[in-house]
Structure 1
Amino acid sequence: MEKIIKLENILWKRDGEEILKDISWEVNRGENWAILGLNGSGKTSLLNIITGYNYPTAGSATVLGTEFGKASLPEMRKKIGFVSNALGRFQQTMNRETVENIILSGKFASFGIYQEITPEDAERAASILKDLRLEYISEKRYAVLSQGEQRRVLLGRALMNEPELLILDEPCAGLDVLAREDVLSMTESVARDTLPLLYVTHHIEEITDAISHVLLIRDGEIISQGPKQEVLTTENLSTVYKIPVRMHWEAERPWMSVERPNKESR
């Protein structure tokens, strides 16, 4: 079975503090993973290892066949599509661009078009606009779009370069219910198109049917990993979220509620 990601005994320190501790994890082709944990649990640090922006303090990492320390990490990054709120630092530049140009810019990992666009590039962008239901706003500037539309545009940009791995880092953060479900619908369609997906969140209700596996992380350590039906238990989620919770399945999606103490028992 082809391995998309293989991390072995990863340790990562920042300013002498252990942020990631003994992380061992494999992602195989055909698996789509959700990564769950509280803010500050190590999710972003783990993504930075996977994308090669942080180098492990100890342990070994191989992503998309690239073994860290033995091959070019910048070349590896070109194979990864990435959507994150961290892209907000390019907001001013994106606000001046049309939807079509932002999607095209994904071919060059830039914001703005600084190289020649081929007919093949234009054709692929048009296909993405159609698949993500963005044709009606293709000539609009990014600045006038709703948050939900902006997330779908960034998803289209991530797909432009035909990545071998797609990482979505809290793509529904800040969205209302309608916009969230729209983004999740688009994400599910992409995940079913044989493209390996890592979906990072702390909201378990965003785990759609297309997600097959879950990694739970707390304070830089893996609490549980594997098929989602085995990992998403009341006990595991209570451990990860540091508060008693109850989870259940509805319409093939997991849902969670916080357990409140019985007033009579106080």
Structure 2
Amino acid sequence: MILDVKKVTWQRDETTILQNINWQVRGNEHWCLVGLNGSGKTSLLKIICGYTWPTSGEVNVLGNLYGTVDLREVRKSIGWVSTALIAQLHEHETAFRVILSGREATIGLYSVPSAEDVKKAEDLLITFGCAALKNRPFGALSQGERQKVLIARALMASPRLLILDEPCTGLDLLSREQLLAMIEQIAAQPNGPTLLYVTHHIEEILPCFTHTLLLKDGAVDQAGPNDQVLTAERLSRFFGVPVNVQRSQGRSWISLGEEATV
């Protein structure tokens, strides 16, 4: 079991942000977490990564029951890619040094990397088609290039769980598809990490993702295999308006139904 969340509720002041969340992710699965803005996605991620403690419930990640382990050690096996991280990184650092810093999950590089680390960072640059970016300042990269560097940074520590928090935000169509193709590469690796992909765009759910959890108003609306969750009936109920679902190249594309567009 990669992730086992049982009856997790989180309250902030008098407001319930998450309510009775149950979610299990197994080693042969890659999941998408879908929710509209304000649905509680980021709050749930912070609990999974051990940055926020639930008001009640139980969290077990990679066989580690939270409350009985050193969360700092657990986080070394979790890669988290988020646009929020961009603001924390030093813009003058080269893309190569940003990737190397992922080995210790630090903001900035404060130790001399080993020859093995240097080789791994160079290989990641080549794998993701970013070799030309090696010595460019992180602040001079495009949004798409930054996201590729952040994913490579997360992979430096060989995480067992990789969380991609809305990585396509702000990308144009071509950059988005290039990034999604890179994510498919990661999913295809025999010993690669389990992926949790967070989005509010159904069309970003790639064929490599096996399951989807729909989060609505802080509660699980639906969770299960994609062919059961990504249906017109269930998505219409989730979004609160009639939607049509078309499938092409293993992906689902939605549009508003006639009743919703009148």
TM-score, reference length from structure 1: 0.94
Partner of 1:88: 86
Which AA in structure 2 matches 1:217? Answer: L
Q: Which of 35, 38, 43 in structure 1 is aligned with 2:36? A: 38
Q: Please list every run of 5 or more consecutive structure 1 residues that lacks an aligned counterpart in the other structure.
A: none
1 CA distance for matches of 2:184 and 2:153? Answer: 17
Q: How does 1:34-73 map to 2 (within 5 A)?
A: 34-73=32-71
Q: Which of 173, 177, 189 in structure 1 is aligned with 2:173? A: 177
1 CA distance for matches of 2:9 and 2:73? Answer: 24
1:247, 1:255 within 8 Å by CA — same for their partners in 2?
yes
Please report how far the alpha carbon of residue 242 of structure 1 lies from its aligned counterpart in structure 2 after TM superposition: 2.5
Q: Which runs of 4+ in 1 moved over 4 A?
A: none
Aligned: 1:75 with 2:70: no
Instruction: Decide which moves more: 111-120 or 31-40.
Output: 111-120
Equivalent residue pairs, number = 260
2 CA distance for matches of 1:239 and 1:201? Answer: 18
Cα RMSD of the aligned pairs, angstroms, is 1.3
Q: Which of 185, 189, 199 in structure 2 is aligned with 1:189? A: 185
Partner of 1:98: 94
Q: Which of 135, 139, 142 in structure 1 is aligned with 2:135? A: 139
Please report how far the alpha carbon of residue 262 of structure 1 lies from its aligned counterpart in structure 2 after TM superposition: 8.1
2:83, 2:167 within 8 Å by CA — same for their partners in 1?
yes
Please report how far the alpha carbon of residue 170 of structure 1 lies from its aligned counterpart in structure 2 after TM superposition: 0.2
Which AA in structure 2 matches 1:106? Answer: G
Partner of 2:157: 161
Partner of 1:123: 119
Instruction: Decide which moves more: 204-213 or 141-150.
Output: 141-150
**1:191-246 per-position Cα deviation (integer Å, ceiling 9, x unaligned):** 12131000000001101111111001100111111111111111221222222211
1 CA distance for matches of 2:231 and 2:218? Answer: 20
Partner of 1:209: 207
Which AA in structure 2 matches 1:202? Answer: H
Q: Please list every run of 5 or more consecutive structure 2 residues that lacks an aligned counterpart in the other structure.
A: none
2:94, 2:136 within 8 Å by CA — same for their partners in 1?
yes
Provide the secondary structure at the position in 2 that maps to 1:108. Answer: coil
Which AA in structure 1 matches 2:56? Answer: A
Question: Identity percentage over the alignment?
Answer: 44
TM-score, reference length from structure 2: 0.96
Provide the secondary structure at the position in 1 that maps to 2:208. Answer: coil
